[in-house]
Chains A and B, each alone.
Chain A
Amino acid sequence: MTVASTTTNASEASNGSLLLTLMKLRTFIALFAVIAFFSVFAPNFLSTANLILMSKHVALNAFLAMGMTFVIITGGIDLSVGSIVGLCGMVAGGLILNGIDLQFGYTIYFNVFEVCLITLAVGIVIGAINGLLITKLNVAPFIATLGTLYVARGFALLSSDGQTFPNLVGKPELATTGFAFLGSGRLLGLPVSIWILIVVALAAAYVAKYTPIGRHIFAVGGNERAARISGIRVDRVKMFVYMFSGFCAAIVGLVISSELMASHPATGNSFELNAIAAAVLGGTSMSGGRGTIGGTIIGAFVIGILSDGLVMMGISSFWQMVIKGIVIIVAVVVDQAQRRLQQQVTLMQLAKNG
C-alpha cells in the first residue's frame, strides 16, 4: 500500500517536472519549430548563404537585446537604443567622410580603428547620460530613455541636415580605408559581425554568471532596497547596465554603416522594440530580477528567423507583424504558467523531503 502510493506520487512529481522541463526549454523548442517549419515551407531556407545572411540580420538585434536584457533585469528599460544606433552610424560616417573641422583651416582625420573607438565611446556616453538621469535625477527609466531617444535622433538628423553620408570607402592617404571589414569581412568563413557577437555574448554571459557586478544586477532588479542595505552600490550597477546598452547599440551602428558603406540618420528606427521582444521571448522578466543572456540570444534568433522566413515564403509584411505579436504574447503567457508550475513542483519536493 505504502509502496503503491509512493510510486503514484513519484510519477505525478515526474510528470510535473517533465512539463516544467518542457516549459523551461520553450525558447529552444520555439527555435527548432521555426527552423523545421521554414526548412519545409521556405525554398532555399537551409542553404549556407541564406543561413549566414539570416544570422547577420539576427546579430544586429541580438546585440541590442543583450544590452536590453541587463537593463530589464535591473527593473529598467532602455528605449533609446534605436536612436543611439542611428547617431553612432552618423558619427562613424561623418568622421570617415569629413573628419573634424577645427574652424581655422585644419581638419583632423582619424584612422578607422580610432573612428570605431570614438563611436563606441559616443554610445557609452549616451548610456551614461541615461544612467545619470535615472540614478542622480530620479527620472523614471521609461521617461529618461524616451527623452534621449528623441535627442539622439535629433542630433543624428542635424549632423547631416537629414542627408545620407554616402560611399564611406575613405582615402588611403588619410588611412580611412577598410571600414567595410566590419560589415562584410569574413574570418574562417563566418562574417566578422558574427564573431563580434560571439565574443560580446560570451563576455556578457560570463559577467552575468561569474562576477560580482553580474550578481548585483540581478539583486538590484529583484529587490532594490535589500540590495542597498546589503551594501550594493545600486547607482553604479545601474550606470553600468545603461552604459553597456549604449555600447551594444554603438556596435550595431558601426556594423550597419559598414554593411551599407553609408550612414543614414533614420537608421535604427524602432529597433528598441525588437530588442525588448527578443529579451522577453528569451525569458527575461519585465518586473526585473530574472533573465539570461543565452535565452535572449535564442529569442533574437526566433524573432529574426521568423521574419526572414516569412519574407521568403512571400507572406505580406502586415501578416508578419500580426504573427510576431502573437508569438510574443504566447511567450509571456507560457512564462507565467511556468513560474506557477515551478512553485508547485518546489512545494511538492519540499513536502516529500519534509
Chain B
Amino acid sequence: MQPAQDDDCVLRLEDVTKVYSGIVAVRHANLALRRGAVNVLVGENGAGKSTLMRIIAGVEKPSLGRILLDGNEVEFHSPADAQRHGIGMVFQELNLFGNLSVAENIFATREVTRGLRGIDHRAQVDKANNFLDRLDAGIDAETLVEDLPIGQQQLVEIAKAISLDTRILILDEPTSALSAAEVDVLFKVIRELKAQGVAIVYISHRLEELMRIGDYITVLRDGQITGHAMVRDIDTKWIVRSMIGSDAKDFAKSVDHRLGEEVFRAEDICLPRRTGGLAVDHVSISVRAGEVLGIYGLMGAGRSEFFECVIGQHRHSTGRVHVGGVDISDCDTSDRIRRGLAMIPEDRQREGLVQALSIASNLTLASLERFLRFGFHIVGEKERAAIKAAIGDLSIKAPNPDFEVTSMSGGNQQKVVIGKALMTRPKVLMMDEPSRGIDVGAKADVFRTMRRLAGEGLAILFSTSDLEEVMALSDRIAVMSNGRLVTVIDRAEATEEMIVTASAEGHKTTREHA
C-alpha cells in the first residue's frame, strides 16, 4: 500500500479520511492515479469507492488528508472547481436532460453564445459532433437524449467529460447498463483516451472486465485500501480475497429445519426492455416452504425486474407464476397478494412507504381486508391490535404508531415495509435488497426476522449484491446476470468465486477489439 513513487502520477491522495456524522466512510487512504493508464477501483457496496471518487471530483471535501495534483497541494471547493483542474466524472446514474439535444447537454451551463443574439446552436452542434466523432459514437448531436439507447447516453456523458479537456476521467460503474457490444465500444474509447495520456479511474463490480481493461488495481474494504497491484500480476482470486477479507460480519445463525413442499414456481418469466432486448430473460425458478433463496447479481442484472414481474407490475411480461400449486399468472397485483405472494421493494422511499400516512396506516395498507365488518367497515380495535402485534414482533421502535412514518430511522422504516408485507399473511415473500441503506443493528434484526420466518415455513426469495450476505443467509443461491438466470447452487457447494464468475456471465463479450 505504499503510494507509488513514479513521476507519471497525475493525482495523489495522501492519508485521506472522510467522516460523515459518526460513520467513517474512508480511513487513511493513499491513492495514486497514473497518467495514460486505467486505474481500477473495486470493493463491495459501501466500501467507500464512491466517497473516494466524490472527493477527487470535488463533490465532497476530505475531513483529513491532502490532495496533490501534479505534486502541488490543491483543494476543490466544488465540482466546477475540480473541472477547472481537468477532472471529469461520469456518475453511475446518468446526469443528462432527456428533453434536450445531445449538443445542448454537452454544453449545458457553458453554452456557446453570440452576445445578445443568444445561443449559437450551429456552433454547438458542430463542436459536439467533433467530440462525438472522436469517440466514434455514431451519434448525431441534434438528436434528443431520451431517444438514445442507454449505452449511447453513457457515451454522451463521456463526450461531455472530455469536452472539458479532462486529464482525469472517473467512470463509476459505466457498464452496469450496457450490452456487450456497447461495452466493446466503451473499451475502445477508453484505450484511445489512455493513448492521449488521460488518467482513467474505472470503478466496477465486474471482475472479468477489470482484468481486460485495467492497468493498476486498488481494492477497498470498509473504507480502507486493502490491496494495490498491477493487474497483470494478479488474478480474480486475489481480488475476491482482498475484497472480502477474513473477518465475518454478524449474521443470524441459520437454524436447521426441514423444508416443505414447493410453494412457489416461476416459469419462463420474460420482460422486454424498452431499448430492445430482454430485461428478464426466460427465468424459471422454484422455492420450497421454509427455504431461503438468495438471488445474487450486479446492478442491472434484472433482479428487481424479475420480482416486479412476479408480483404483476409489468403488463408486458410473459411466463407463468404458481403459488401453492395454483396458477396466478392471470391475476393482478391485488389478487396475487391475496393468493399469498408479497414483495418488499428495493427503494423504500419511492415504492415501499406512503410518506404522508402514519406508521399504523402504512402497516395495514395491504391487509385492510382482514379488519373488515360487513365487507366495508374497518374495525378499529382489530386493526390496532394487529398493529401492536406487528410492532412487537419486528421490534419496530415506534413511540407512537400514529406519527408519520418519516419520523423514524431508515432501519425502522424498512421494518414497517416488511411488516406491511407480512400482515398480508404471505406464503412467499420476495425481498429486494432488504439490507440496503440501513444500519448494522437494523440489518441484524432484518436477517434474524428472515431466518425466523423461514423457520415458520415461509418461502423467501431475496436479492442482494453483497457476497457475504448471500453466502450467509441462503439455503440455495441463484445468480442472475444481464437478465438471465445463470446458475442455481446449493449453499454447501457454493464458493464466492463461483458466484462472482457467474454474475459476469451475461456480459461476456465474444470478440476483442484491438
Contacts and interface: CB of A to CB of B under 8 A. Distances in A.
Interface of A: 210-213, 215, 218-219, 221-223, 225-233, 285, 288-290, 343, 346-347, 349-350, 353-354
A290 B361 CA distance: 13
B424 interface: yes
Contact of A221 (B351, B352, B356): B356
B366 A222 contact: no
Interface in B347-369: 350-357, 361, 364-366, 368-369
A350 B356 contact: no
B250 interface: no
Nearest to A207: B376
Contact of A219 (B365, B369, B399, B407): B365
Contact of B366 (A221, A231, A288, A289): A231
Given A215-B368, A225-B351, A347-B407, A231 B356 contact: no
Nearest to B344: A229
A231 B407 contact: no
Nearest to B403: A346
B357 A289 contact: yes
A215 B350 contact: no
Contacts of A218: 354, 356-357, 361
23 contacts: A210-B378, A212-B368, A212-B372, A212-B378, A218-B356, A218-B361, A222-B354, A222-B355, A222-B356, A223-B350, A223-B353, A223-B354, A229-B311, A229-B333, A230-B365, A231-B333, A231-B336, A231-B424, A232-B334, A288-B356, A349-B399, A353-B399, A354-B397
Given A212-B368, A346-B407, A219 B354 contact: yes
Given A210-B377, A212-B369, A347-B407, A229 B354 contact: no
Nearest to B421: A230
Contacts of A343: 407
Contacts, number: 89
A283 to B, nearest CB: 12
Contacts of B352: 226, 229
B404 interface: yes
A232 B311 CA distance: 12
Given A288-B356, A346-B407, 7 more contacts: A211-B376, A211-B378, A223-B350, A225-B351, A231-B366, A232-B365, A233-B334
Contacts of B338: 231
Of all A-B residue pairs in the complex, the 10 with the closest CB atoms, nearest first, are: A289-B356, A222-B354, A231-B337, A222-B356, A230-B366, A212-B368, A231-B334, A223-B354, A346-B407, A353-B399
A116 to B, nearest CB: 25
A121 B378 CA distance: 28
Contacts of A354: 397, 399
Given A228-B313, A229-B345, A231-B424, A290 B368 contact: no
Contacts of B368: 212, 215
A208 to B, nearest CB: 11
Nearest to B373: A210
Contacts of A230: 337, 365-366, 420
Chain B residues touching A, range: 35 or more
B439 interface: no
A346 B357 contact: no
B334 A226 contact: no
Contacts of A349: 399
B332 interface: yes
A271 B340 CA distance: 47
Nearest to B343: A229
A151 B311 CA distance: 39
B115 to A, nearest CB: 39
Contacts of B380: 210
Contact of B350 (A213, A225, A353): A225
A288 B333 CA distance: 23
Given A211-B376, A230-B365, A219 B357 contact: yes
Nearest to A285: B356
Given A210-B378, A212-B376, A226 B333 contact: no
A350 B407 CA distance: 8
A149 B246 CA distance: 69
Contacts of A289: 354-357
Contact of B356 (A228, A233, A290): A290
**Most chain B beta carbons < 10 A, residue from A210, A221, A229:** A229
Contacts of A212: 368-369, 372, 376, 378
Interface in B302-361: 311, 313, 332-334, 336-338, 343, 345, 350-357, 361
Nearest to A235: B332
A343 B407 CA distance: 8
Nearest to A223: B354
A289 B365 CA distance: 14
A215 B365 contact: yes
A17 to B, nearest CB: 14
A283 B511 CA distance: 63
Interface string B437-471: 00000000000000000000000000000000000
Interface centre among B337, B354, B376, by most A CB within 10 Å?
B354
A289 B362 CA distance: 13
A231 B313 CA distance: 10
A212 B353 CA distance: 17
A229 B313 contact: yes
Interface in B79-94: none
Contact of B332 (A215, A233, A290, A353): A233
B510 to A, nearest CB: 38
B351 A226 contact: yes
